[in-house]
Amino acid sequence: MNRFILHNIYDNPVMEIPKNLQNLKICLVTDWLTNLGGGEKVVHAIADIFPKAQIYVTVADFEAVSSDFPDKKRIKTSYLQRLPVLHKKHQLLLPLLSHGIESHDLSGYDLILSFSSCVAKNAGLKRSGKHVCYIHTPVRYGWEMEYDPRVKNLPKLIQPIAKIFLKRLKNHDYDLRKNPDLYISNSSETNSRVRKFYDLSAKTLYPPVDIKNLKFSDKKSDYFLGFGRMVVYKKFDLLVDAFLGMPDKKLILAGIGPETERLKEKVKKSGAKNITFAGKVSDSKKKDLFAKARALMLPQKEDAGIVQLEAMASGTPVVAYKSGGVLDVLEENINGVFFEKQTVAGIISGIDKFEKQESKFDAEKIRKTAEKFSTENFQKNYLEILEKFMTK
CATH topology for 211-371 is: Rossmann fold (3.40.50)
In this predicted structure, the answer to whether residue 272 has a pLDDT above a threshold of 70 is yes
pLDDT tier for residue 365 given thresholds of 50, 70 and 90: very high
Distance, CA of 321 to CA of 200 (rounded, Å): 28
pLDDT tens-digit readout, 227-237: 998 988 899 99
pTM of the model: 0.89
**Region 318-332: what's the mean pLDDT?**
97
The answer to whether domain 3-208+374-391 and domain 211-371 are alike in fold is yes
pLDDT tens-digit readout, 70-85: 999 999 999 999 987 7
For 124-162, b/e burial (b = at least 16 CB within 10 A) is beebebbbbbbbbbbbbbbbebeebeeeeeeeeeeeeeb
Amino acid occupying residue 68? D
CATH code 1.20.1260 for 3-208+374-391: no
Q: Which of 78-92, 205-219, 239-253 has the lowest mean pLDDT?
A: 78-92
CB atoms within 10 A of CB 352: 12
pLDDT tens-digit readout, 117-148: 999 999 999 999 999 999 999 998 888 876 66
In this predicted structure, the answer to whether residue 7 has a pLDDT above a threshold of 60 is no
In this predicted structure, the answer to whether residue 14 has a pLDDT above a threshold of 90 is no
Distance, CA of 73 to CA of 178 (rounded, Å): 31
CB atoms within 10 A of CB 164: 10
C-beta of residue 51 within 8 angstroms of C-beta of residue 74: no
Q: What is the dihedral of CA 77, 12, 208, 21, to 10 degrees?
A: 70
Domain boundaries, the chain: 3-208+374-391, 211-371
Phi-psi label, residue 156: left if phi above 0, alpha if psi -120 to 50, beta otherwise: alpha
In a 3-state reduction of DSSP, which class is residue 62? coil
Q: Are strands 3-7 and 13-18 parallel, antiparallel or unpaired?
A: antiparallel
Distance, CA of 132 to CA of 265 (rounded, Å): 46
